[in-house]
Structure 1
């Protein structure tokens, strides 16, 4: 049978009895035998509780219990404070947001459901209620929006909305905007730049009336990690917005432009016109002679008038924002591979706002079918 331990009051009473026996002339060994303890235990108890009254020992025990209780309360208060800081990112206005907050608190702080519900202001019955089907669909939609935002870091909510519609999601733009705002995916607003416009707007531009009627050509520049130059030759079909080619090299001369166009002619019909600026590669005699021999006309824009080549300039802006600004090229072959991957994604995956949310390849296929 397990022996019961003595409390401080009982120990003090036994020490009083030991003092009486010692005053009667008995030895310490006789006292230990009478108290049924060893000499070491007697001296240890005498050192801890000697000269103390039973009421004082009781008060000491109460103080120790009170101190332990205050420590527990302080630890609970600090834990509640840390959990409230975790929820300080936004207001928990809906039961679904409070439901997710309770789950987060339980996972991160190993708190009980009762405590997490109290801090989040959630009713425990509501928390235990099964999630409706609509909430499950909402969770899937949120997850897909986050995936698109992580994969395309420079996309805004409008592009994500168009991509969701292409994938078959039955969702309107206001719902996507709400989720986009709640998930904190807003991009900083771009600074508006003043663009110069021609004084006389009476000059009418050549308009593409069918695919491969007008090809727009322009250059962009970047560099690899070692500081060496990269030159991107972009060719865009103005009717379908299809990016036909992105040639990447250290330098690009007129013969390189001709070689790139001739490679495209193996897949596509020859364009009727080439829209270009007055760069040295485009006004070279070699390119002009090739255009004359192939029957392709040239549509040069006036110097200092990039707005007259709007389709390739629009592509260049998106190419810079969604590709060049987020990629760091270690070598020329890596830049070539990544540029080709971006071109395929631009043609077949990315929805285009000017094409009513369709991709350039869809526009080209629909025109062929019609």
Structure 2
């Protein structure tokens, strides 16, 4: 939205660079009445003094209205807050406010424990760093029926194509799930991943934005993985992360009892 003062400045600028264009035409282009040229402002000296005060306070910094009012009143106590606010807004000192884009949320999708294997998987990302500072990501996949870890992929970056490649390897080993529960990360909302789900007849079970409790089973798995591996070791290479993770997955699936599985391991619960 352009204020009257900003239109006035634009008209003055256009007349300066295009002196051959008439004032009437410039006003018509800018959507401004020609009579405004002959209007005499009632308080120009007062506004000019306060405008100069605000300019001196701002300098090259970017300050919001509240901070400007406080600083101007400290240095120029003769000006009131309402005067400073009026001039601050009228003469274009206001900061640009970016409009918030409306984001449509997903409907509530409470979690439930499946009654059979490969009925519903869950996926989520984690991140950590090597000793030299370079970061890496992990893609964790579990079967929510028996809490079995189906695989953890470790890469520097994890685009949708890498997610699909790893999923295909896991499906080849464990079979295809009916649905996959994920959050709303860009890797999962991408057209490439959604097309792959549709072509493979796999349901995308998306949780609500900002509701990780709707993916609670893998969130609990992530906590265990972070405590046992990511927080417990100092990594010097991705190969080291992969080796330690592979050993840990074997122990997690075959040796570690789960209270939610009546203290059975995922392998024992799957065989029962």
Q: TM-score range by the shorter chain?
A: 0.5 to 0.7
For residues 338-364 of structure 1, what are the alpha-carbon distances to aligned partners after superposition, in whole Å with 9 as ceiling and x for unaligned?
111111110011111111111001111
Do the aligned residues in 1 keep the contact of 2:109 with 2:206 (CA within 8 Å)?
A: no
How far residue 268 of structure 1 moved from its aligned partner, in angstroms, is 1.5
Kindly report which structure 2 residues correspond to 1:205-354, keeping only aligned pairs within 5 A, or say none: 205-354=111-260
Root-mean-square deviation (CA), in Å?
1.6
SS in 2 for 1:266: helix
TM-score normalized by the length of structure 2: 0.59
Residue 261 of structure 2 corresponds to residue 359 of structure 1: no
Q: Secondary structure at the match of 2:154?
A: strand
Query: 8 Å contact 2:253–2:265 — kept in the other structure?
Result: yes
The DSSP-based 3-state class of the residue aligned with 1:345 is helix
User: How far apart, in 1, do the equivalents of 2:218 and 2:160 lie?
Assistant: 19
Deviation at 1:204, TM superposition (A): 4.3
Q: CA deviation at 1:207?
A: 4.0
The aligned length equals: 166
Check whether the contact 2:110–2:214 (CA below 8 A) recurs between aligned residues.
no
- What aligned pairs does 1:41-56 form with structure 2 within 5 A after superposition? none
**CA deviations over 1:122-156 (Å, ceiling 9, x no partner):** xxxxxxxxxxxxxxxxxxxxxxxxxxxxxxxxxxx
Report the TM-score when normalising by structure 1.
0.44
2:137/2:157 contact within 8 Å kept: yes
The aligned counterpart of 1:138 is: none
Distance (whole Å) between structure 2 residues aligned to residue 206 and residue 354 of structure 1: 13
Distance 1:298 1:216 in 2: 10
Aligned-partner SS, 2:188: coil
Please say which structure displays the higher CA radius of gyration: 1
How big is each residue's C-alpha offset from its partner over 1:27-80, in whole Å with a ceiling of 9 and x where there is no partner?
A: xxxxxxxxxxxxxxxxxxxxxxxxxxxxxxxxxxxxxxxxxxxxxxxxxxxxxx
Report how far residue 205 of structure 1 moved: 3.6
- Once the two structures are TM-superposed, the CA of residue 324 in structure 1 deviates from its matched residue by 1.2
CA separation of 1:206 and 1:357: change in aligned 2, threshold 3 A: closer
What secondary structure, in the 3-state scheme, does the structure 2 residue paired with 1:278 have? coil
Distance 1:286 1:206 in 2: 28
Task: Quote the Cα distance in structure 2 between the aligned partners of 1:203 and 1:342.
Answer: 31
**Which consecutive unaligned segments of at least 5 residues does structure 1 have?**
1-201
Larger relative contact order (CA 8 Å, sep ≥ 6)? 2
Match of 1:286, SS state, is: helix
Matched residues in 1 for 2:109 and 2:187: separation? 25
1:146-165 matches, within 5 Å, as: none
SS of 1:215's partner is strand
- How far the C-alpha of 1:230 sits from its partner, in A, is 1.3
